[in-house]
Structure 1
Amino acid sequence: MSKASVNKLFVNNDKSNDEHSMMNIGQHCSQCQELDFLPFVCEYCGATFCSKHRTIESHHCAKAPKEKTFVSQRYTGPTAASLFPNRDANRQQIEAKLQQPSKPTNILGSNAGKGNVFATFTKFMNLQKIKNNSKKKFFKKAVSFNSTNKVLEAAAIRKEAKGDAKINVSDRIHVWCVYINPREKAKDQSSEDEVFSNLNVEKERRACWVSKQWSVGRALDSIADTIHIVNHNNSTNDADEKLHLFKVNETETPVLLKSHLRCKDTLQQGDTLYLVRGHL
């Protein structure tokens, strides 16, 4: 057998099979019947489509869902406003509330002294400022520890102060305490306005010490016991009989000291605290 005859045994002359195998690579689109070598299969109807008709909208898929539902996830974490509060706006809101007591009959308000401690303390401050004829003069005395006489003030408060002897000297915070009782009346049946106006802060205040490790609630109990003020905070549910502690900040705004706060974070040496009875 010649060499040419041997070569013909290993040569495939069937060109039709080659062409047929190339045609089997792609598939016809179910929509336009066009041959596509990279066909797409619809996940809903299972039909094969070209790139033009691969979406459910383009081939009008009958088995596709009518609407796509999305579950909205509402954010419940902290907001920027809670992380960075506007202190000026908060102070303005407090001042606005203090200046607008319910059912006022005069510039001081008629409900002060009838239980609402904010209204009571506001009325007291207003009457004291009128009596002293100067807002700055009154508050300068009220926080006199920050004045030029702070050295003498510190010596005086330490000399007069009383409190729990078990508290270490290094843990003591010395404060002035003034009791404001809206129900107190003078012997001659003077009005509440006269009682508040005639109250002399410097004469009526008492020096006490509390522990910086205490809560404000415990400090209030200790102060009431030290200056002999009736305290029903731990034995009554009557909100009108509750005692509360106030102080005046640098902006001359009343600040209610919450009972759960720590004294070391709330009080400073020489602060003047006001005990006021009534509901919030």
Structure 2
Amino acid sequence: MSHLPSDGRHEHGQNFLTDPRVPATMVDLVARTSGPILEIGPGDGAITVPLARLGRPVVAVEIDGRHVARLRRRLAGRAGPSARVDVRHADYLHFPHPAEPHVVVGNVPFHVTTAILRKLLDEPGWSHAVLLVQWEVARRRAGVGGATLLTAQWWPWFSFELHGRVPARAFRPSPGTDGGLLRVTRRALLPAGDRAAYQRFVADVFTGRGRGLADVLRRRGLLDDDAASLLARERLGSALARELTAPQWVALWGGVRPGSAPRRTAGARTGGQRRSRH
């Protein structure tokens, strides 16, 4: 695989891959899936060209017109599967995903990683995503060293798996941080109808005041007998929100579920007024 030119434009946060082993790993992860492929930010094609060899339709969305022209010329000189690659000149943040099931792959510009992830997670239709993002983002999304609010909010519907670290020297120009390979897979640990309420609940817990989970829920008026029993059983009373795993968040939501009928508040005085579930 030929290396890419090191002329990434600062305004687009472009850092091109020069180590062919990284695209090979990403394409191998994509090869384990099925269906059409949507690539985010193909640049000059370090990932696009080997993707084309899979023989599946590829739509590559590139914001920089110079690289759109280069990639189209590069692919035009190749026969066979490359003819199935459609290079689009567009900003992914404003690009509609296809309606049919598909897979997403991309070397994500580091400075817009969060915006791209938020858009991606809101998009229906795709089943898997293989992304190269900042190392710390990849670690936190996968729950290594503690999950972020964004991860916890989406965990019931997506799994995040870390697939390796990519040193900064594998890019040109070299970024100020290493990259990380992240695979995201759609799942359904909770019904889709719970999403809005669940995500508000997670945000409340993450931002709530208190020394540990039990204290946070108590201050929010959510620590009833069932929730207290759950925390004791899972030994989560003193845990911090970022320390919970995906199954623990799902269990906590099932035990608390704000908006349901109020139950006896743990520790409430006999005859006392029940706390609101809101």
| TM, length-normalised to structure 1 | 0.20
- Specify which structure has the higher proportion of helix: 2
- Specify which structure has the higher proportion of strand: 2
